[in-house]
Amino acid sequence: MTYLDHAATTPMLPAAREAWLEASAQVGNASALHGAGRRARAIVEEARERLALALGAHPTEVIWTSGGTEADNLALKGLYWARRDHDAALTRVVTSAIEHHAGLDPVRWLAAHEGADAVEVGVDAAGVVDVAGVAAALADAPTALVSVMWANNEVGTVQPVAEVVAAAARHGVPVHSDAIQAVGHLPLHFADSGLATLALSAHKVGGPVGVGALLVRRDARLTPVVHGGGQERSVRSGTLDPAGAIAAAVAVEEAVAAMEGEAARLRALQADLEARIGSAVDRVTVSGPPPGPGRLPGIVHLVAPGAAGEAMLYVLDSHGVEVSNGSACVAGVVQASHVVAAMGRSDADAASTLRISMGATTTADDLDALMAVLPDAVARARRVANR
């Protein structure tokens, strides 16, 4: 099999797996006061410290979650409720039109059920959010929060988060960023970012599925989404997972330590693949900014007009080549890409996409396997569409 869907999930790193196995052999609830509980708590706190150090945060700013979706929901709903309850006029939520559904859907839910005034700011043809549009939305109405992802999960566009934070700071508005695709792939320092909250997920960087974290600045106030035992600063209740936490911390540490060299390696593969696609496949365009600091190093997102994404996936998968159309978090259903549509492409183009995402295990042989099948997959998908 040729696995080229690392933006969806990554193979566990050996060091993360070993850390998980060692910690999972220990018994004890990290909230218990006996010896086993204290030993479990020690694992959790070691993981918290190591994750914080890798990402430029203070250990008290790390809130463990079940993954990126929970982290986004906790940030968006928690910040909104806390700000609105302090000042009822603060109902506007500003976000971008190309957020992951874990960021878009909570905002839309707040608009439908909690009276939020949701503004989805547009992007340019490369998928870069309109910072002037964010500033205009902030100036137009009292705003509870702004949320802009650090890097897009489908096309790989890196967003001008620092500019968004600066625009929001002029109005005293906190900013959340979904950094799930950025952590371990781009330079990131939470303390220097100016963000109020930042979401991450372990399985995007070689950690286990079902573990994530929300970095929460110490002066930020969030209303809990889940109520119970009051764990995690009374912001996120629930029994802690020591094995998951330490494996997540180890995976992030390793990804951050290897980031510079790995980014250079992936950018070389990225450039090679794009050149080969350009010469071998007719009428296919690469989405997003050109390769470089404006795009994640591992993603090549294609639009193949006239070729249904689902048909291309079927052909590639039948030859053992595993890619995706975009986000894997839409209940396993192939849908037209809201990201591509927001970038100004037609509905037909938005349904004719492939996302090739590379990672630590990707080699030149994987690209050879892809290119042995991709031209035929596009051609066959177009023939099916024209019947």
Question: What gap in Å lies between CA 99 and CA 284, rounded to an integer?
Answer: 24
Helix or strand (DSSP H, E) at 87? none
Among 32, 53, 166, 329, the one annotated catalytic: 329
The answer to whether 70 is a known catalytic residue is no
**DSSP character string of 214-252:** EEE-TT-----SS-SS-TTTTTS-S---HHHHHHHHHHH
> Is residue 99 helix, strand or coil?
coil
> Is residue 307 helix, strand or coil?
coil
Identify how many contiguous H helices and E strands the chain contains and give both numbers. Answer: 13, 12
User: Smallest Cα–Cα separation from 200: which of 177, 223, 217?
Assistant: 177
Longest dimension (CA), the chain: 70
SS (H, E, C) 310-366: HHHHHHHHHCCEECECCCCCCCCCCCCCHHHHHCCCCHHHHCCEEEEECCCCCCHHH
User: Smallest Cα–Cα separation from 107: which of 137, 86, 127, 128?
Assistant: 137
Residue 329's Cα: distance from chain center in Å?
A: 11
Instruction: Go through the chain and tell me how many residues it has.
Output: 387
**For residue 229, what are the contacts with CB-CB under 8 A and spacing of at least 6?**
31, 237, 238, 239
Distance set, CA 70 to CA 49, 106, 224, 308, 387 (Å): 21, 10, 12, 32, 43
Question: What gap in Å lies between CA 107 and CA 305, rounded to an integer?
Answer: 31
Phi/psi of residue 213, nearest 5 degrees:
-155, 150
* 110, 116 contact by CB (below 8 A): yes
Residue type (1 letter), 196: A
Q: Which residues are catalytic?
A: 329
